[in-house]
């Protein structure tokens, strides 16, 4: 009985310390980005909240197993010089323990599926519906080995580049963006569709979508803060699926700006195109 | 040749060998499940360009080879090594002719280059031919072995296994035929 | 159990020694393989000349490799032992006595088991050194030793393939399985010793093929071989396909052999209800292998022919997503093939060390079985970022569900050590460490199973941390635990408790110091398959690399300790741990014939306590060990 109380107390203490540390982590970072370190989109917030919930739920589970292992290893160990005798208790089953464990693990797993998976996905799916993204800015993203090409068909910009001639992604803040993703090589001499899988990922946006040759995929995201790659390197487009030797270099800078600055940039790009 | 007669196999061991061999044959069905999945995932166009006669001939010859194998096994089980040898030879000939028929089909297959159906055809029938080749090799080995040792009713696993494999290959051939020639 | 008769250290062999002048099997195998390679390479080029090189083309490299593989198997002894008897001649293969028998074809299951373990350890060394090179490269954000990014990516692929297919799935199943399954079920052999003897020699073929594949061209896909990149990669990738084919063929033969042995060769009284935990682990894993290895083999062959013929199954004109489905249908059960024997080992060792009956044994067995059954239902959780929305939910559900039976191993282990009398030996320590590490691996899987979170951490270092925690934390630590636990059985000698514990703590601390960083790196935006990365990740990568070097040294230290203890350790008795399972009821080191008569099993092996029944009806006199 004393053993059970000690274990319970240790579990509460270790779990408590773990939760305290977890909460500190969760409430750290810009805009409480916590474990995601830098979140600047609507979808990222969904993922972040799911991560936070799971972190807080996993800590008591972790603490329980660790406490049981450490307690048993210390309390029931054979001490130096002691002759290892058979254990006094040879219980081979305990209905309460097994019952609580099995039922508990089933319930916990169903819970984790319902929340945050299903609940989070409902938010993600809702954000992907066209009717919830009226007035979306359309950005055609062509992923080729090893370059991201951004074009803005609504503004007749065929390839957005910065002053160094490198592809760049400019987005207006707080406006839904419709990324149309294709693995497509417009510069290939004879076969534009001969390309490989890539994955469109902006770490600060908390979401990625694979880009598969032969498929056109759509991703609706809304940037929620004005930021850029120069502000925080997590705000960048990074290919997240191995695509050959240039895979680590397949990046593009991102700028999330106010709608006024965005309009100005659009004008600039169209002048560049002539 | 009596001194070369094989010692009887204990019943328990024979049962174990048969079960393990059955497990092996069941696992190889997975290979054709994958090929069938590929057929239905990317080659949904209907059958075209095949020579139905060659297809039927190839499968029929494979079934003949399998049947000859079954008869060879029966002969070995009745202590008739000469009959067994003869029937294994028949199986070899029939099997080789089945392969030839399928090769002939490959040559005259009338599909456009790059057609998914054509590619799946070569992949699936090619895999089947590999299994048939292995089966015929094992039958050849069984026949050669049978000319140096004597198969008895109590020990003819060396005939049983290759002929079982040949029967399985023929049945798979029927499935392949249905998938490539009929639907 | 006193020995009545003093036996000489080396008993006389009953077979004549091989004739002098007969070539050593490994050398003959290499010679025959070399000749076959050159001849068939030339033949293929004669039939199908290449426009790119007069010396080698992809088809010729493939045909030559196949011929060389057969010639190698014949050369190391398969010719006399398998091929000639297949056609009717008498078997004339003679195993060399002493240490030489490990370097040739053998049909004795303990020899084969040790061969598997040594070859697997060799694969661990090769892939581990590649990992050390990778970590050296990752110490800086720019390229250093690898020169080009493609070279780095090839190293990633070689590391992953060799580790997964020659270490993770081979050491516990082909190695420990072949050695201990017959011993634990009271048999003297496996059911298909000739097949088993051949299968082990496929392992060096696979490891060397993959390790040397860059010679044909640097391939960049990583161990998953995703299309359509694989189709456009240089020629080395065909040796990745063929090397994996050889290794999976070896594992497939092991699976058939051990399944049949477990079903049919059990000693009298060893009912299914009394089957040892490790044997349950091997049985469930072997059934998984039997179903899924043919699947990945045909997938890889389709990929190979996609290159050689060529076909259009997996590129933009076909379906790259189909490749992913076919790969992960195997790929997910594969990771359970890796970890299930480890979970079984925990519950094999803890009752012995705690002198306490295994708690909830039926639940532990059900856990292993249900993990096996559910493992084929979760594969698309590797593809959440590219499957339809409708598919994400069911796969997420089954992924959550499979964590339930995985937890049963913990249920049994925790219940066993509670109120036990636990000897904190090196094996105990390593098992508890394995439980801790796998717990972290499993809990991080909880995050990956959650789709919104997965959309962020998929294909980042978070995933790499997760699977290294489950594989190294689960399988590698448990393998070390098993090696220390069974060292007296292998060699009759005991390791040093001090150095064993030092080694265990060394790798535990270094392992956690290395891989805990991976989760943070992933969350901070580091993607996979990068030899260069943005500069803001440099400091963390530097620390990780240093910890990784310490970990590598720790593995070497443990291996050296085990090797030393094998030959110079203190002599141990037949059953130093006081275990009840059958392998401990015979001499240590295990004799050539495991059991002079089949043991008659009277009770289960996991009941301890002062009034526990004897597991055998009668104790035969332990025959002296003549196996060296």
- Comparison of pLDDT for C430 and B6, the residue scoring more: C430
Count of structural domains, chain C: 2
Q: What is the CATH number of the domain that holds C563?
A: 1.20.210.10
For residue C6, is the peptide bond before it cis, meaning its omega torsion is within 30 degrees of 0? no
Q: Is B130 touching C (CB cutoff 8 A)? A: no
Mutate to test the interface with B, among C254, C311, C312, C321 (most CBs of B within 10 A): C311
| Average pLDDT, integer, range A243-263 | 96
C600 lies in some domain: no
Please state, rounded to an integer, the average pLDDT across all residues of chain A.
Answer: 94
C91 versus C401: which is more confidently predicted? C401
Which of B9, B16, B30, B33 to mutate against chain C (most C CBs within 10 Å)?
B30
- Rounded to whole angstroms, the Cα distance separating A66 from A71 reads 8
User: Does residue C285 fall inside a structural domain?
Assistant: yes
The confidence band for B1, taking pLDDT boundaries of 50, 70 and 90, is very low
Are C322 and B19 inside 8 Å of each other by CB? Answer: no
How far apart are the C-alpha atoms of C400 and C530, rounded to whole Å?
A: 30
From chain C residues 476-515, the ones with a CB under 8 A of any chain A CB are none
Task: Write the secondary structure of C390-451 as one string of H (helix), E (strand) and C (coil).
Answer: HHHHHHHHHHHHHHHHHHHHHHHHHHHHCCCCECCCHHHHHHHHHHHHHHHHHHHHHHHHCH
Give C265's contacts in chain B (Cβ within 8 Å).
16
Mean pLDDT, range B90-96, rounded to an integer? 97
Phi-psi region of C415 (alpha: psi -120 to 50; beta: other; left: phi over 0): alpha
- Which member of B30, B122, B149 has the closest CB to residue C294? B30
Please tell me the predicted confidence (pLDDT) of residue C625: 57
The three-state secondary structure class of C230 is helix
Q: Which chains touch C (3 or more CB pairs under 8 A)?
A: A, B
pLDDT at site C7: 46
Residue C88: count other Cβ atoms within 10 Å of its Cβ: 17
Contact criterion met (CB < 8 Å) for C355 and A85 = yes
Are C611 and C625 in contact by the 8 Å Cβ rule? The answer is: no
Residue C9's pLDDT is what?
52
Beta bridge partners of A41: A223
Among candidates A90, A125, A210 on the partner chain, residue whose Cβ is nearest the Cβ of C609: A90
- Percent of chain C clearing pLDDT 90 (strictly above): 85
The segment(s) of chain A belonging to CATH 2.60.40.420 are 136-273
Q: Is the dihedral of CA B148, B151, B154, B160 positive or negative?
A: positive
Same-domain status, C270 and C154 = yes
d(CA C439, CA C444): 8
pLDDT of A176 strictly over 60 = yes
Q: Which residues contact C215 (CB under 8 A, 6 or more apart)?
A: C236
* CB–CB contact A105 C403 (8 Å): yes
Mode of pairing for the β-strands spanning A251-257 and A168-172:
parallel
Cβ A193–C316 below 8 Å, yes or no?
A: yes
Q: Does A259 touch chain C (CB under 8 A)?
A: no
Same-domain pairing of C228 and C271: yes
State in Å, rounded, how far the first CA of chain A is from the last one. Answer: 83
Strands (E), C164-247: none
C480 found inside a domain: yes
What mean pLDDT is predicted for residues C597-616? 89
Model pLDDT, residue C11: 47
Q: Search chain A and give the residue with CA nearest C524.
A: A37
Chain C contact present for A207, CB below 8 A? yes
From B19, B38, B122, residue closest to C322, measured CB to CB:
B38
Residues C341 and C445 in one domain: yes
In chain C, which residues have their Cβ closer than 8 Å to the Cβ of B19? 260, 263-264
In chain A, which residues have their Cβ closer than 8 Å to the Cβ of C317? 193, 214
The string of DSSP codes covering A230-272 is TT-TTSEEEE-S--STTGGG-EEEEEEE-HHHHHHHHHHHHHH
With CA atoms as reference, the chain A residue closest to C606 would be: A92
Rg of the Cα trace of chain C?
A: 25
In the prediction, which pLDDT does C12 show?
52
Chain A interface disruption, residue of C371, C527, C605, most A CBs within 10 A:
C527
Residue B106 touches chain C, beta carbons under 8 Å: no
Question: Per the domain annotation, does C3 fall within a domain?
Answer: no
Which residues fall within 8 angstroms of residue A113, CB to CB, at 6 or more apart? Answer: C396, C397, C400
Q: Chain-wide mean pLDDT for chain B?
A: 92
Domains, chain B, ranges and CATH?
Answer: 8-182 (1.20.120.80)
Is the model's pLDDT at C243 over the cut of 50?
yes
Q: Is residue C584 part of a domain?
A: no
Top-level CATH class of A136-273?
mainly beta
Nearest CA to C401 among A98, A108, A100? A108
* Interface residues from chain C to B (CB-CB < 8 Å): 85-89, 191-192, 252, 256-257, 259-260, 263-265, 290-295, 297-299, 301-302, 305, 309, 311-313, 317-319, 322, 326
Pairing between β-strand A207-211 and β-strand C493-494 as defined by DSSP bridges: unpaired
B114 touches chain C (CB under 8 A): yes
- Give the separation between CA B145 and CA B135, rounded to whole angstroms: 15
Over 70: is that where the pLDDT of B61 sits? Answer: yes
Q: Which residues of B touch C70 (CB under 8 A)?
A: none
CB–CB contacts below 8 A, A to C: 278
Q: For residue C601, give the DSSP letter.
A: B
CB contact under 8 A, B34 and C192: no
Summarised one tens digit per residue, pLDDT across range B147-166 is 998 898 989 999 999 999 99
Q: How many CB atoms lie within 10 A of CB C7?
A: 11
**From B23, B126, B148, residue closest to C256, measured CB to CB:** B23
Distance CA C583, CA C487 (A): 12
Per-residue model confidence (pLDDT) at position C328: 97
CA nearest A199: which of C302, C226, C393, C378? C226
B119/C302 CB distance under 8 A: no
Bridge partners of residue C527, in order along the sequence: C460
Gap from B12 CA to chain C (nearest CA, Å): 8
Across chain C, mean pLDDT equals: 93
Residue C599 maps to a domain: no
| Closest CA in chain A for residue C420 | A87
Which residues from chain C sit within 8 angstroms of residue B28, using beta carbons? 294
Lowest mean pLDDT among B154-158, C196-200, C217-221, C526-530: B154-158
For B94-133, how does the pLDDT look when each residue is reduced to its tens digit (9 = 90+)? 999 999 999 999 999 888 877 899 999 999 999 999 999 9
3-state class (DSSP) for residue C65: helix
pLDDT above 70: residue C521 = yes
- Are residue C117 and residue C80 in the same domain, yes or no? no
Residue with tokens 């059900």, as numbered in its chain: C366
Contact B116 C318 (CB under 8 A): yes
Task: With residue B15 as reference, give the H or E element that holds it.
Answer: helix B11-42
**Residue A47 contacts C where some CB pair is shorter than 8 Å:** yes
CB contact under 8 A, C358 and A92: yes
When pLDDT is averaged across residues C225-243 and rounded to a whole number, the result is 94
Average pLDDT over residues A33-42: 95
Tokens found for residue C274: 């009394």
Q: Report whether A178 contacts A222 (CB < 8 A).
A: no
Q: Are strands A176-183 and A137-144 parallel, antiparallel or unpaired?
A: parallel
Q: How confident is the model at residue A83 (pLDDT cuts 50, 70, 90)?
A: confident
**C595 found inside a domain:** no
**B vs A contact (3+ beta-carbon pairs below 8 A):** no
| Of the ranges B128-137, C78-87, C583-592, the best mean pLDDT one | B128-137
**B123 closest CB neighbour out of C259, C294, C302:** C302
Considering the domain architecture, whether residues C289 and C404 belong to the same structural domain is answered as: yes
From residue A141, alpha-carbon distances to A198, B31, C82, C344 in Å are 11, 38, 59, 49
Q: Are A69 and C354 in contact (CB under 8 A)?
A: no
pLDDT at A90: 85
Is-above-0.90 flag for pTM? yes
Q: What is the pLDDT of residue C251?
A: 97
- Which range of residues forms the domain containing residue C169? 109-579
Instruction: Find, in chain B, the residue whose alpha carbon is nearest to that of C304.
Output: B123
Q: Are C318 and C324 in contact (CB under 8 A)?
A: no
Helix axes B116-146, C277-308, angle to 10 degrees: 120
| Chain C contact set for B20 (CB, 8 A) | 191-192, 256-257, 259-260
In 3D space, the residue among C284, C179, C193 whose CA is nearest the CA of residue C594 turns out to be C179
On whether residue C399 sits in a domain, the answer given is: yes
Closest Cα of chain C to A257: distance in Å? 22
Counting as contact any 3 or more CB pairs under 8 A, the partners of B are: C
Assess whether pLDDT exceeds 80 at residue C500.
Answer: yes
Q: C148 and C42 share a domain?
A: no
- Contact criterion met (CB < 8 Å) for C264 and B12: yes
Which tens digits make up the pLDDT trace of A179-238?
A: 999 998 888 888 877 889 999 999 999 999 999 988 899 999 999 999 999 999 999 999
> From the CA of C405, how many Å to the nearest CA of chain A?
9
Average pLDDT over residues C112-123: 97
Q: What is the pLDDT of residue B2?
A: 47
Give me the residue from C256, C260, C305 closest to B123, CB to CB. C305
């Amino acid at each position: 009985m004393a053993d059970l109380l000690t274990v319970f107390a240790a579990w509460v203490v270790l779990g408590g310390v773990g939760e305290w540390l977890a909460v500190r982590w969760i409430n750290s970072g810009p805009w409480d980005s916590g474990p995601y370190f830098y979140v600047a989109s609507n979808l990222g917030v969904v993922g972040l909240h799911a991560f936070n919930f799971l972190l807080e739920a996993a800590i008591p589970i972790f603490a329980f197993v660790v406490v049981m292992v450490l307690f048993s290893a210390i309390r029931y160990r054979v001490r130096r010089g002691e002759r290892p005798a058979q254990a006094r208790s040879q219980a081979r089953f305990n209905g309460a323990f097994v019952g609580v464990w099995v039922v508990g693990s089933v319930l916990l797993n169903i819970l984790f599926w319902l929340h945050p998976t299903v609940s989070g996905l409902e938010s993600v799916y809702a954000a992907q519906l066209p009717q919830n993204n009226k007035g979306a800015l359309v950005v055609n993203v062509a992923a080729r080995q090893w370059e991201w090409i951004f074009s803005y068909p609504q503004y007749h910009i065929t390839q957005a580049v910065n002053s160094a001639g490198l592809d760049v992604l400019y987005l207006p803040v707080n406006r839904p963006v419709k990324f149309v993703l294709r693995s497509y090589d417009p510069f290939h001499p004879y076969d534009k569709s001969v390309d490989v899988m890539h994955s469109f990922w902006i770490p600060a946006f908390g979401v990625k979508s694979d880009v598969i040759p032969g498929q056109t995929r759509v991703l609706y995201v809304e940037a929620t803060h004005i930021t850029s790659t120069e502000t925080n390197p997590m705000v960048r487009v990074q290919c997240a699926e191995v695509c050959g030797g240039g895979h680590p270099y397949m990046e593009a800078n991102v700028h999330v700006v106010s709608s006024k600055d965005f309009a100005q940039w659009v004008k600039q790009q169209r002048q560049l195109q002539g | 040749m009596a001194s070369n007669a094989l010692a009887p196999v204990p019943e328990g061991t024979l049962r174990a060998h048969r079960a393990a061999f059955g497990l092996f044959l069941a696992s190889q069905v997975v290979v054709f499940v994958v090929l069938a999945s590929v057929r239905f995932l990317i080659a949904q166009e209907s059958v075209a360009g095949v020579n139905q006669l060659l297809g039927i001939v190839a499968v029929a010859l494979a079934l003949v080879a399998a049947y000859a194998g079954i008869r060879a096994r029966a002969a070995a089980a009745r202590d008739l090594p000469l009959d067994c040898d003869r029937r294994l030879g028949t199986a070899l000939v029939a099997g080789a002719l089945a392969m030839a028929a399928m090769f002939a089909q490959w040559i005259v297959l009338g599909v456009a280059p790059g057609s998914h159906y054509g590619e799946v055809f070569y992949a699936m029938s090619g895999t089947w031919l590999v299994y048939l080749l292995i089966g015929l090799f094992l039958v050849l080995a069984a026949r050669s072995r049978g000319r140096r040792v004597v198969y008895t009713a109590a020990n003819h696993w060396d005939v049983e296994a290759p002929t079982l494999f040949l029967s399985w290959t023929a049945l798979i051939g029927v499935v392949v035929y249905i998938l490539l020639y009929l639907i | 159990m006193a020995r009545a008769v003093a036996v000489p250290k080396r008993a006389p062999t009953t077979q004549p020694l091989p004739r002098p002048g007969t070539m050593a099997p490994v050398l003959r195998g290499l010679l025959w393989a070399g000749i076959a390679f050159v001849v068939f390479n030339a033949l293929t080029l004669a039939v199908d000349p290449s426009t790119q090189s007069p010396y080698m083309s992809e088809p010729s490299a493939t045909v030559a490799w196949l011929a060389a593989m057969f010639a190698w198997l014949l050369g190391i002894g398969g010719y006399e032992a398998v091929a000639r008897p297949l056609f009717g001649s008498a078997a004339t293969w003679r195993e060399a006595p002493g240490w030489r028998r490990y370097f040739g074809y053998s049909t004795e299951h303990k020899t084969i088991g040790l061969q598997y373990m040594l070859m697997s350890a060799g694969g661990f060394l090769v892939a581990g050194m590649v990992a050390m090179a990778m970590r050296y490269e990752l110490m800086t954000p720019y390229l250093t030793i690898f020169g080009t990014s493609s070279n780095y990516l090839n190293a990633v692929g070689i590391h992953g393939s060799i580790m997964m297919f020659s270490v993770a799935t081979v050491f516990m199943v082909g190695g420990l399985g072949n050695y201990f399954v017959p011993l634990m079920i009271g048999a003297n052999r496996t059911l298909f010793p000739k097949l088993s003897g051949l299968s082990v020699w496929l392992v060096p073929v696979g490891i060397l093929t993959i390790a040397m594949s860059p010679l044909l061209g640097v391939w960049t896909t990583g161990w998953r071989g995703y299309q359509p990149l694989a189709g456009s990669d240089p020629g080395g990738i065909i040796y990745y396909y063929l090397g994996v084919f050889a290794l999976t063929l070896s594992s497939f033969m092991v699976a058939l052999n051990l399944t049949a042995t477990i079903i049919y060769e059990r000693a009298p009284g060893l009912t299914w209800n009394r089957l040892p935990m490790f044997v349950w682990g091997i049985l469930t894993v072997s059934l998984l292998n039997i179903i899924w290895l043919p699947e990945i083999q045909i997938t890889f062959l389709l990929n190979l022919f996609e290159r050689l013929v060529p076909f259009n199954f997996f590129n933009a004109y076909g379906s790259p997503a189909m490749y992913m489905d076919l790969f992960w249908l195997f790929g997910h059960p594969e990771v359970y093939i890796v970890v299930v024997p480890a979970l079984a080992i925990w519950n094999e060792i803890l009752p012995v060390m705690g002198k306490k009956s295994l708690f909830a044994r039926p639940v532990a067995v059900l856990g292993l079985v249900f993990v096996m059954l559910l493992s084929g239902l979760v594969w698309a959780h590797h593809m959440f970022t590219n499957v339809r929305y409708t598919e994400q939910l069911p796969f997420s559900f089954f992924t959550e569900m499979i964590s339930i039976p995985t937890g049963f191993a913990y249920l049994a282990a925790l219940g066993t050590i509670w109120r036990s009398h636990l000897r904190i030996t090196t094996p105990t320590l390593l098992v508890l460490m394995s439980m801790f590490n796998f717990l972290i691996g499993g809990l991080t899987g909880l995050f990956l199973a959650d789709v919104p979170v997965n959309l962020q951490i998929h294909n980042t270092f978070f995933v790499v941390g997760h699977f290294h925690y489950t594989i190294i934390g689960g399988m590698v630590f448990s393998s070390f635990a098993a090696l220390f636990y069974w060292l007296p059985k292998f060699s009759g000698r005991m390791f040093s408790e001090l150095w064993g514990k030092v080694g265990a703590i060394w790798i535990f601390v270094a392992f956690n110091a290395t891989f805990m960083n991976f989760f943070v790196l992933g969350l901070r935006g580091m993607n996979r398959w990068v030899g260069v990365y943005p500069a803001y990740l440099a400091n963390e990568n530097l620390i990780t690399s240093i910890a990784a070097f310490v970990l590598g040294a720790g593995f070497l230290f443990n291996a050296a300790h085990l090797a030393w203890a094998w030959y110079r350790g203190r002599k141990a008795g037949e059953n130093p741990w006081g275990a009840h399972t059958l392998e401990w009821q015979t001499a240590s080191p295990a004799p050539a014939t495991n059991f002079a008569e089949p043991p008659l099993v009277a009770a289960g092996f996991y009941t301890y306590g002062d009034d526990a029944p004897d597991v055998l009806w009668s104790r035969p006199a332990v025959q002296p060990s003549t196996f060296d």
